[in-house]
Chain A
Amino acid sequence: MSEFLRRDIPLLITAFLTLFMLAEYFIDLPILGKLGGDIRSWGVVISAFVLPIGIVTLVRNNVTIIRRREKNWPYYLWSLIIMFTMIITGLIGDLGKHPVFIWLYNNIFTHLSSTMYSILAFFITTASARAFRARNVDAALVLISGVFVILTVAPIGEVIWPGIPVIGNWFLDIPNMAGMRGIIIGVGLGVLALGIRTILGYEKGIVMGEKER
Chain B
Amino acid sequence: MEKYVVWKDHRWIYLLLIVVVSIPILSPIGLPVPISKSTMMSFDLIEKLPKGSKVLVSSVLAGGNWPDLGPPETALVQHLFRRGVKIVFIGFADETPTITETTLLPRINKYGARYGEDYVNLGFLAGGESAMAAFANDIRKVVTVDFVLKKPIAEIPIMKDIYKCSDFDLVIHIGMAEDPIRQYFTPFRVPLIVGVYGMMGPHYIPYLEAGQLSGMVIGLRGAAEYEYLLGFKGEGLMGSDSLSMTHLLVALFCILGNVYYFITKTKRKGDKR
Residues of A within 8 A of B (CB): 25, 33, 36-38, 40-41, 43-44, 46-48, 51, 96, 102, 105-106, 109-114, 116-118, 121-122, 124-126, 128-130, 132-134, 143, 146-147, 149-151, 153-159, 165, 172-173, 176-177, 180-181, 184
Interface assignment of B112: CB less than 8 Å from any CB of chain A? no
A105 lies within 8 A of B130 (CB)? no
Task: Determine which of A109, A114, A151 lies in contact with B67 in the assembled complex, contact meaning CB atoms within 8 Å.
Answer: A114
Interface assignment of B66: CB less than 8 Å from any CB of chain A? yes
> What 9 A-B pairs have minimum CB-CB distances, sorted nearest first?
A113-B64, A40-B134, A110-B63, A156-B244, A154-B247, A113-B63, A47-B127, A43-B130, A129-B253
Judged by DSSP, the binding face of A is: helix
Judged by DSSP, the binding face of B is: helix
B134 lies within 8 A of A44 (CB)? yes
- Given contact pairs A133-B257, A153-B247, A48 touches B137 in the complex (Cβ within 8 A): no
B191 CB to nearest A CB, Å: 21
Question: Count of chain B residues with Cβ under 8 Å from any Cβ of A?
Answer: 64
Interface assignment of B68: CB less than 8 Å from any CB of chain A? yes
B127 lies within 8 A of A124 (CB)? no
A128 lies within 8 A of B98 (CB)? no
Besides A47-B127, A114-B63, A153-B247, 6 other A-B contacts (C-beta < 8 A): A43-B127, A121-B17, A125-B246, A129-B7, A129-B13, A173-B205
A172 lies within 8 A of B202 (CB)? yes
Interface residues of B in 250-267 (CB under 8 A from A): 250-251, 253-258, 261-262
* Least CB separation from B254: chain A residue: A132
User: Which residues from B are CB-within-8-Å of A118?
Assistant: 67
Task: Determine which of B17, B65, B98, B103 lies in contact with A125 in the assembled complex, contact meaning CB atoms within 8 Å.
Answer: B17
A47 lies within 8 A of B130 (CB)? yes
A158 lies within 8 A of B32 (CB)? yes
Question: Complex: how many Å from CA A102 to CA B97?
Answer: 13
* Least CB separation from B131: chain A residue: A44
A94 CB to nearest B CB, Å: 8
Interface assignment of B62: CB less than 8 Å from any CB of chain A? yes
B244 lies within 8 A of A147 (CB)? no
Q: Mark B25-42, 1 if CB is under 8 A from A, else 0.
A: 000000111100000000
A111 lies within 8 A of B63 (CB)? yes
User: Which residues from A are CB-within-8-Å of B240?
Assistant: 155
